[in-house]
């Protein structure tokens, strides 16, 4: 079962108008930078993008915003830290051109985890008594209040990984793992851009972070050069 | 109206909080003053977790140590300590929500007498009911002990410790201890218990910049480091 696609554009050619796509990465770390850029060159619109942030550290996502490819964002930390700086996403949100479903970080990843594990919804203590609880079922369990949160099952997940074998078994590197495994499990189709692709048997079987069953397509990429910052996009 | 009292520096607030974390603890530090706490824990037996998915975070990375695949939750390149381990975001928040964090230290815009606090949305600053929630709501409900590290009042002099919060909440009844530049205040069942005051200030001074009626501890003393 060789899952490698020689051409990154071929690997994403079935992305369609209105598709929901989870993009891995935590600020600048572990983002599918090549896949996101390839998506920005694809003629698809009305996308639902599921990602921690909307163009802060994951600068490539701003191209999707500039192209007005995104209809809705599901995220947990969408803005610049300083309120005096406005991102493209914030400008579009202010103009009413894009929707934002804000979800606490732990709830965000658990919604994806649940989506990948056949759990349609779950109760969580996070957000009880806050704006996050609006229009959500509250349930008492052992005398404590919990919110009902629904799973997220994206059409696609784009992830970045350090190493994979051709069957899709994946190893991440350090904190670049972050959201990537659960997004891969939640999505119908997962496309991984990978820095190193090896033959089956070459990875330590005891040290696989994401079993290949969750990964449909692999694309070999060069290790990207990334500056860890949420202050400014890299100079072109 | 400006700030009425100076009190202690952010660094000393961080030291006071570091002394509040027992050896053998797992702890998570938020952005701002909380981050400074780790400057005072060298040689202590405290393991720091970062939401991105790592235990045993080390100091900030310098020069050749910088690795693009190793950052903290504030997107700063960091190092790893012996015994470090990496895991996914889902695992990270299972630890946080599951009650494995002995201590979390967070900043806030406002804290109430009942231990409610807000730290993600000042109305009018961001469009609609949005803001950067990040992991704050999960840490607030999950940590065994939640310490809030804040300047006692805003730069403009407006109060931050209130009878009721006026901004959207991060969590209800979650705060255990408030450490400010002026005082150390415990959120007790009966209300806010003033335990320590900054050098040169009196409990009456603290009350003058705190909306809820403070309960003055019989053992009230100067903030100790």
| pLDDT, tens digit, 9 for 90 and up, residues B109-131 | 999 999 999 999 999 999 988 99
Which chain B residue shows the shortest CA-CA distance from A91?
B127
Query: Is the confidence at residue B1, as pLDDT, over 70?
Result: no
Distance between B200 CA and the closest CA of chain A, angstroms? 34
Pairing of strands A47-50, A20-23: parallel
CA-based nearest distance B151→chain A, Å: 18
Question: Is residue A2 domain-resident?
Answer: no
Using the beta-carbon criterion (under 8 Å), do A126 and B138 form an inter-chain contact?
yes
pLDDT value for B188: 97
Q: In terms of residue numbers, what domain contains A204?
A: 8-79+87-119+153-220
What's residue A234's pLDDT?
Answer: 77
Question: Which pLDDT does position B3 carry in this prediction?
Answer: 76
Q: What is the pLDDT along chain A (236 residues), one digit of tens a residue?
A: 999 999 999 999 999 999 999 999 999 999 999 999 999 999 999 999 999 999 999 999 999 999 999 999 999 999 999 989 999 999 999 999 999 999 999 999 999 999 999 999 999 999 999 999 999 999 999 999 999 999 999 999 999 999 999 999 999 999 999 999 999 999 999 999 999 999 999 999 999 999 999 999 999 999 999 999 999 887 76
How many separate domains does chain A show?
1
Per-residue pLDDT at A236: 62
- The predicted structure's pLDDT at residue A233: 82
Q: How confident is the model at residue B31 (pLDDT cuts 50, 70, 90)?
A: confident
B127: closest chain A residue by CA: A94
Specify the CATH number for the domain of residue B33.
3.40.1080.10
Asked if B65 is an active-site residue, the reply is no
CA distances from residue B199 to B11, B203, B222 in whole angstroms, order as listed: 15, 11, 6
| Cβ pair B76:A107 closer than 8 A | no
Task: Evaluate whether residue A64 is within a structural domain.
Answer: yes
Q: What was the ipTM of the complex prediction?
A: 0.97
SS3 B151: coil
Give the CATH number of the domain where residue A64 resides: 3.40.1080.10
Give the mean pLDDT of B13-28.
98
- Would B84 be classed as within a structural domain? no
Residue B206 has pLDDT above 90, yes or no: yes
pLDDT score, position A22: 98
Domain count, chain B: 1
How confident is the model over B175-179, as a mean pLDDT? 98
Q: Which of B35, B133, B168, B174 to probe the A interface (max A CBs under 10 A)?
A: B133
Range of the domain at B196: 10-39+101-222
DSSP H helical ranges for chain B: 10-20, 33-36, 89-97, 136-142, 203-208
In a domain, B55, yes or no: no
Residue B152 maps to a domain: yes
Summarize the confidence of residues B46-51 as an average pLDDT: 98
pLDDT, one tens digit per residue, over B49-80 is: 999 999 999 999 999 999 999 999 999 999 99
Strand partners, A141: A144
Is residue A134 domain-resident? Answer: no
- Catalytic site residue from B6, B51, B65, B204: B51
Q: What is the pLDDT of residues A19-40, one digit of tens each?
A: 999 999 999 999 999 999 999 9
């Amino acid at each position: 079962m060789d899952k490698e696609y020689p051409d990154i554009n071929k690997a994403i050619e079935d992305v369609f108008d209105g598709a929901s796509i989870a993009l891995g990465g935590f600020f600048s770390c572990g983002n599918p930078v090549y896949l996101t850029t390839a998506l920005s060159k694809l003629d698809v619109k009305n996308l639902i993008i599921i990602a921690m942030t909307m163009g802060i550290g994951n600068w490539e996502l701003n191209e999707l915003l500039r192209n007005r490819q995104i209809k809705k964002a599901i995220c947990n930390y969408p803005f610049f830290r300083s309120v005096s700086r406005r991102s493209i996403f914030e400008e579009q949100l202010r103009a009413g051109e894009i929707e934002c479903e804000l979800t606490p970080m732990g709830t965000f990843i658990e919604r994806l985890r649940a989506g990948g594990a056949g759990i349609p919804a779950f109760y969580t203590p996070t957000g009880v008594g806050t704006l996050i609880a609006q229009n959500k079922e509250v349930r008492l369990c052992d005398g404590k209040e919990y919110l009902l949160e629904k799973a997220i099952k994206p059409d696609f997940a784009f992830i970045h990984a350090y190493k994979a074998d051709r069957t899709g078994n994946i190893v991440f590197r350090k904190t670049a793992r972050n959201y990537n495994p659960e997004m891969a499990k939640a999505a119908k189709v997962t496309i991984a851009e990978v820095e190193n692709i090896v033959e089956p048997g070459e990875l330590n079987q005891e040290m696989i972070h994401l079993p290949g069953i969750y990964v449909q397509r692999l694309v070999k990429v060069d290790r990207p050069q990334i500056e860890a910052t949420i202050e400014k996009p890299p100079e072109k | 109206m400006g700030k009425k009292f100076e009190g202690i520096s952010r660094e000393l607030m961080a030291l006071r909080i570091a002394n509040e974390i027992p050896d053998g603890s797992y702890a998570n530090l938020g952005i701002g003053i909380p981050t400074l706490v780790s400057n005072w824990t060298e040689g202590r037996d405290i393991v720091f977790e970062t939401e991105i998915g790592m235990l045993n975070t080390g100091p900030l990375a310098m020069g050749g140590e910088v690795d693009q695949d190793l950052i903290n939750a504030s997107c700063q390149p960091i190092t790893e300590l012996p015994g470090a381990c990496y895991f996914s975001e889902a695992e990270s928040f299972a630890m946080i929500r599951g009650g494995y964090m002995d201590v979390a230290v967070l900043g806030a815009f406002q804290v109430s007498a009942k231990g409610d606090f807000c730290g993600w949305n000042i109305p009018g600053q961001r469009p609609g009911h949005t803001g950067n929630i990040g992991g704050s709501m999960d840490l607030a409900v999950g940590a065994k002990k939640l310490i809030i590290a804040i300047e006692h009042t805003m730069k403009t002099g407006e109060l931050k410790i209130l009878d009721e919060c006026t901004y959207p909440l991060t969590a209800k009844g979650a705060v255990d201890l408030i450490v400010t530049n002026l005082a150390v205040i415990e959120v007790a069942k009966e209300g806010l218990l003033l335990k320590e005051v900054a050098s040169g200030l009196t409990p009456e001074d603290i009350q003058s910049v705190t909306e809820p009626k403070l309960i003055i501890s019989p053992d009230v003393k100067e903030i100790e480091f």
